[in-house]
Amino acid sequence: MNKAQKEYLERVQAEQKQEQEQERATDSNWSAANVARQTLGQGLAFGFGDEIEGAFRGIYEAATSGKSYSDAVNEGIEYARAQNKAFETQNPKSALAMQIGGGLLTGLAGGGRALAAKGLSMGAKAARGAGVGAVVGGATGAGMAEGGVTDRILPAATGAALGAATGGVLPVAMAGAGKLISPIRGMIPGGSRRQAEGLFRNTAAEDAMTSGTLRSGLDDIGPLGVVADVGEQSTKDLARFTGTKFGGKSTQKMLETRHLDQGPRVAASIDKNVADIPLDDYLVNTTKLRQTSANKNYGELYEAEVPLTDKLKGFFQNDAIKEAYESARDIAKVNNHILTPLSQKLDEGVAFLKPNMRTLDYIKQSLDDKVSEAFRAGKNKLGAALQAKRDEFRQHIDEISPKNEQGISLYKNARSEYAGHSAALESAELGAKFISSPKSVSIRTIKEMGDHEHEAFLVGVAEELRYKVLSAPDAADVTKRIFGNHLIRQRLKAAFRGNEEAYSAFEKTIRNEAAMAETNAAVRFGSRTAPMLSDESTYSKAAGAVGDAVGVAAGSPGSAARLGSKMADALSTPPEAVAKHLSGMLLSQDPAKKAMAIELLKRGRTATSRAGGMTRALVTPAAAYLTAPRPGAR
């Protein structure tokens, strides 16, 4: 490990440690246990929550540790009081408001009885509620104090005064209780399944995912798909949070297995929509076809004699042709043939011999090699001169070679078929370069190809795509290798050259695989600490609405509203039971569970919209009471 890598690792570890410390600090401050101690123990239980918690702790401790019951209970009470004091020291205003909110839950019974008195005016109901509140508040104040009877007198009096004020407002809020109950049932108190359904609907709304788009997306992906694959970022955040809360092993195993098979699935789509024959097989087969074709066409033609024209004699006297003939003799030796000489010396001079087609074609092949050698060596003028001589020689061979019934040169036909196979070989190799070395092959090249050449070209494209996909590491998203940006997608679409159906099918496969890879990365490789903070935004919208309602019910739309929102945030983080239901909705391949998720999006409103109705149910009757004309008022 080099110095830079070591520093990077140390920095990452330090950041992770800081995140963990922040998380622990947050848990110790706003844990569900502390919230319960304030709202239930100190509020709902009239301040006797520490004694109640201590009793239960004492029973357990005495049974498991051998301590005496009295000692265990005293230690439990001290522990609960210490936790309460620590929380109240850090959050004095929040603690007080939570305790009032918890007390209101008890006061609702008294408020309900005051409201139920038939024939009483709203003022009389408020007065009765104030009386009930005074009793409840006095008991709460006494319970929250410590020490003897004398020490609890002043707290009891303070609690009675605060309870009376709160109880007087309560009947007004209770006037809207009928409208309030239904929206509340749809919120957090509705049980783990209801919570999970509300979170899912709210998250789907953030991603603009409807039952229709969810059904369509799952149909596209097929049996391997899960709901989280269809949703956008909020849905994947919720899936990540769920995957770390419940069923982590089975969920991650499913995602891992699915992702490991991504490469073969993409390769199968390449076979189906691009080309299914491996490049090596294609090259071997095409080479064999070319050789077979050459043997057939040239074999019948090679032994045919041609007329010894004056123009042919002129070629035989050219030094370039003479050199090519020497190379042609080497080609003949490889094929177990001996070429007759071009001429022979006689006493009266040089006599040219009548050649056959084999001799002329081998000379032409030698000239092909010399042209290529000259251009590769940078001798462009020599290459151009040799090329001109070669073309002139080849044209004359076409003129004197045997003809078919249509009068077309048999040599030209044989050469054309051989060239077609050669062009196919070149096109296939060009297709591989089109993907592996984009700068070396332009899109314009594809447009100039014939159909046969383009088919060969796609063989090369498919081969290189397969290599990129199947050589990727197990954890990699292979779709990014072959479809990762706009330029790559543009070139790939050009390779299909107008075959929109095949391209669309291939693109659909790649996009679905990319969505599944995103789900895998979010759930399996997402941070286990930092996302806990960002993921809270998924739930805080519903939680904030609950907090607003708590604040209005408490008669304090300022600090109490902010407190209620914070309380609901702490309590709304999905526990194991909620995560269990969410896991089934978001990360299950079970068709029945996916169908339930689709059906769920067809029903009801989101948690946020229901919270709006709940707030109106609280505010409307209070506003009506406060603005109603008083007797004698002008």
Q: Is the pLDDT of residue 62 over 50?
A: yes
3-state secondary structure of 209: coil
Sequence-ordered list of residues with C-beta below 8 angstroms from that of 541, at least 6 positions apart, any chain = 202, 607, 608
Q: Lowest mean pLDDT: which of 70-79, 177-186, 521-530? A: 177-186
Q: Higher-confidence residue: 242 or 465? A: 465
Q: Higher-confidence residue: 160 or 414? A: 414
Stretch 563-573: mean pLDDT: 46
Per-residue confidence band for 317, with pLDDT thresholds at 50, 70 and 90: very high
Length of the chain: 634
Q: What is the pLDDT of residue 224?
A: 94
Instruction: Answer whether residue 392 is part of any domain.
Output: yes
Closest CA to 137 of 170, 174, 113: 170
Give the predicted TM-score (pTM) of the model: 0.50
Q: Is the pLDDT of residue 374 over 70?
A: yes
Task: Read off the DSSP letter of residue 437.
Answer: -
Q: Lowest mean pLDDT: which of 82-91, 258-267, 570-579, 586-595? A: 570-579
3-state secondary structure of 350: strand
Instruction: Answer whether residue 584 is part of any domain.
Output: yes
| Structural domain ending residue among the three candidates 105, 139, 174 | 174
Is the domain of 35 the same as that of 153?
Answer: yes
Is the domain of 70 the same as that of 129?
Answer: yes
Stretch 282-310: mean pLDDT: 82
Is the domain of 552 the same as that of 570?
Answer: yes
Most confident of the following: 193-207, 491-505, 519-533: 491-505
Q: Which structure tokens are listed for 46?
A: 């009239």
Is the domain of 106 the same as that of 52?
Answer: yes
3-state secondary structure of 349: strand
Residue 118 lies in domain: 31-174
| Structural domain ending residue among the three candidates 480, 503, 525 | 525
Sign of CA dihedral 152, 155, 160, 161: positive
Instruction: Answer whether residue 509 is part of any domain.
Output: yes
Most confident of the following: 117-126, 339-348, 499-508, 599-608: 499-508
Is the domain of 38 the same as that of 169?
Answer: yes
Is the domain of 612 the same as that of 537?
Answer: yes
Is the domain of 146 the same as that of 35?
Answer: yes
| Structural domain ending residue among the three candidates 483, 501, 525 | 525
Instruction: Answer whether residue 634 is part of any domain.
Output: no
HSE (side-chain half, CA atoms, 13 Å) at 214:
28
Is the domain of 541 the same as that of 595?
Answer: yes
Most confident of the following: 60-74, 215-229, 477-491, 548-562: 215-229
Task: Please give the tally of structural domains in the chain.
Answer: 5
Is the domain of 96 the same as that of 141?
Answer: yes
In tens, the pLDDT along 391-444 reads 999 999 999 999 988 888 888 888 777 777 777 888 888 899 899 888 888 888
Instruction: Answer whether residue 93 is part of any domain.
Output: yes
Instruction: Answer whether residue 406 is part of any domain.
Output: no
Stretch 312-333: mean pLDDT: 93
Q: Annotate 561-606 with three-state secondary structure.
A: HHHHHHHHHHHHCCCHHHHHHHHHHHCCCCHHHHHHHHHHHHCCCC
Is the domain of 573 the same as that of 489?
Answer: no
Q: Higher-confidence residue: 138 or 617? A: 138
In tens, the pLDDT along 163-215 reads 666 555 555 554 554 444 444 443 433 467 777 888 888 889 889 999 999 99
DSSP for 440-492, please give it: GS-HHHHHT--HHHHHHHHHHHHHHHHHHHHTS-TTS-THHHHHSSHHHHHHH
Is the domain of 429 the same as that of 481?
Answer: yes
Helix or strand holding residue 70 (H, E): helix 69-90
Q: Which structure tokens are listed for 612?
A: 């709006």
Stretch 7-26: mean pLDDT: 58
Instruction: Answer whether residue 298 is part of any domain.
Output: no
Stretch 86-95: mean pLDDT: 68
Q: Lowest mean pLDDT: which of 233-237, 474-478, 602-606, 627-631? A: 627-631
Instruction: Answer whether residue 428 is part of any domain.
Output: yes
Is the domain of 488 the same as that of 620?
Answer: no
In tens, the pLDDT along 547-564 reads 443 443 444 445 444 444
Q: What is the pLDDT of residue 42?
A: 54
Q: What is the pLDDT of residue 11?
A: 67
